[in-house]
A and B are shown apart, each in its own frame.
Chain A
């Protein structure tokens, strides 16, 4: 074959890749932050007694879960400008895709966690005169949030990796950066290996942070 592994290539690519990684982290962080609030709102709406709220939440969740994130981002980046008559910023397209996409999955995580809290907790809260909102805020949510953490961690990691799909809109995140380096040096093996390792570093750090958070929230 004559293939010779060149470690130096990985090393040389690293500064560029880290720059791309910064953008990947930026997109994931902002997207997930917004996505969490979106998901919490949609999840709560789905448990609501108000039919119209429930319906809106279901429509949102089913539409987003039922279509590929790649289609979603291309729709936002290439499709929306035709409607709006203005260019859509790629960072905006990327973060909003993550937010909307992760939000739909997080909504189900939130709903599941809230519905898993025993009815007796709500009955006890209501029995001491808490309103529906107070009961949610002080009794149900804090307990549900602990149960959300493991599946949330899962979703966060999935979303970080989903940002790789945004090569299709040409934003210079980690995967795109890797492609660009290879276009110059043709060292696909070393560069993709390096790209993979950088993703792994990001997701493992995230994993670790989440397990620390879980430990901290454990009931003593």
Chain B
């Protein structure tokens, strides 16, 4: 249905450049690569009633970049993520995704959401559908891909996340780690330009965290643009191109994983890092 919208007219996936990324993902490169910006956040504020959650954030995310956002609970990091796919509206400020101003009411929200994948802390799989149906719902209903083709795509994605044998299982029968991998496949089914991860491993038993991080790492290697809110400092250190520390609704400090973890400049960053188990 969105296929007829003019915003889709510009090339779908051509601005992706994995080759560029593999080169740039070596840790030595500068924190902000000089590539095309896909998410642009300018002076964004978000209030819930009187509660000020985000207090003027600026952030650019480039194509192929993996940005990890860390910070204490209630610091506004999840809210910021949810603004990017319009699950929340910003109170003020500019939020541009792939050249589309998300505050512009003429921009089709549903289109933006197909291009911005979201993975939730609590998976939010559809319990009344099989794993394959979960993954193919978007392609079938949003992209209008015929069922056999959608199935084929779905099975490929399930193989990618290591769950091809679970296609006909219902989510209730899966472990947390498996559920989250299905949720990742469900998002990928729409070939989004950016993937958002909202504490994807926080609801998992410790022994199941690894399998999910593994899939995410693979995505990063393939050049997916990712914004990840997480408490997994190991993942941040290993996979992130840039780490952002958010405190009380503001970006307190950002930089390469080395800069943030080994040589944090701000006292608040140091305090936070000293309280979390780093690696």
Q: In the complex, which residues of chain A have a beta carbon less than 8 angstroms from the beta carbon of B117?
A: 127
Interface membership of chain A positions 108-129, coded 1 if the CB is closer than 8 angstroms to chain B and 0 otherwise: 0000000000101101111111
**B122 x A120 contact (CB < 8 A):** yes
**B128 x A127 contact (CB < 8 A):** no
**A128 x B190 contact (CB < 8 A):** yes
**A134 x B141 contact (CB < 8 A):** yes
> With an 8 A cutoff between CB atoms, is B251 at the interface?
no
Q: Which residue of B lies closest to A124 (CB)?
A: B124
**B190 x A129 contact (CB < 8 A):** yes
> With an 8 A cutoff between CB atoms, is A142 at the interface?
yes
Name, among A124, A126, A131, A220, the residue most crowded by chain B CB atoms within 10 Å (CB to CB).
A124
- A-contacting residues, B110-139, CB 8 Å: 110-111, 113-114, 116-118, 120, 122, 124-128, 137-138
Among candidates B122, B128, B142, residue contacting A129 with C-beta atoms closer than 8 Å? B142
Among candidates A121, A126, A128, A143, residue contacting B186 with C-beta atoms closer than 8 Å? A128
> With an 8 A cutoff between CB atoms, is B230 at the interface?
no
**B187 x A127 contact (CB < 8 A):** yes
**B127 x A128 contact (CB < 8 A):** no
Interface membership of chain A positions 5-23, coded 1 if the CB is closer than 8 angstroms to chain B and 0 otherwise: 0000000000000000000
**What is the predominant secondary structure among interface residues of chain A facing chain B?**
helix
In the assembly, what is the distance between CA of A126 and CA of B141, in Å? 12
Among candidates A118, A127, A130, residue contacting B87 with C-beta atoms closer than 8 Å? A127
In the assembly, what is the distance between CA of A129 and CA of B2, in Å? 9
> With an 8 A cutoff between CB atoms, is B85 at the interface?
yes
In the assembly, what is the distance between CA of A2 and CA of B111, in Å? 83
Query: In the complex where A129-B2, A129-B113, A129-B190 touch, is A120 in contact with B141 (Cβ < 8 A)?
Result: no
In the assembly, what is the distance between CA of A120 and CA of B203, in Å? 14
> With an 8 A cutoff between CB atoms, is A83 at the interface?
no
In the assembly, what is the distance between CA of A129 and CA of B137, in Å? 10
CB distance from A43 to the nearest CB of B (A): 19
> With an 8 A cutoff between CB atoms, is A138 at the interface?
yes
Q: Which residue of B lies closest to A141 (CB)?
A: B128
**What is the predominant secondary structure among interface residues of chain B facing chain A?**
mixed
**A124 x B141 contact (CB < 8 A):** no
Q: In the complex, which residues of chain A have a beta carbon less than 8 angstroms from the beta carbon of B113?
A: 126-129
In the assembly, what is the distance between CA of A57 and CA of B125, in Å? 31
In the assembly, what is the distance between CA of A130 and CA of B110, in Å? 7
**B111 x A129 contact (CB < 8 A):** yes
Name, among A120, A129, A130, A134, the residue most crowded by chain B CB atoms within 10 Å (CB to CB).
A129
Q: In the complex, which residues of chain B have a beta carbon less than 8 angstroms from the beta carbon of A129?
A: 2, 110-111, 113-114, 138, 142, 190
**A124 x B125 contact (CB < 8 A):** yes
> With an 8 A cutoff between CB atoms, is A219 at the interface?
yes
In the assembly, what is the distance between CA of A143 and CA of B114, in Å? 23
> With an 8 A cutoff between CB atoms, is B261 at the interface?
no
Query: In the complex where A128-B190, A129-B138 touch, is A123 in contact with B87 (Cβ < 8 A)?
Result: yes
Q: In the complex, which residues of chain A have a beta carbon less than 8 angstroms from the beta carbon of B2?
A: 129
Among candidates B116, B128, B189, residue contacting A219 with C-beta atoms closer than 8 Å? B128
Name, among B128, B138, B187, B189, the residue most crowded by chain A CB atoms within 10 Å (CB to CB).
B128
Listed from nearest, the 8 A-B pairs whose CB atoms lie closest are: A129-B114, A124-B124, A128-B138, A120-B124, A127-B118, A129-B142, A129-B113, A129-B110
A-B contact pairs, 15 of them (CB 8 A): A121-B124, A121-B126, A123-B118, A124-B120, A124-B124, A125-B126, A128-B114, A128-B142, A129-B110, A129-B114, A130-B110, A138-B126, A143-B127, A143-B128, A220-B172
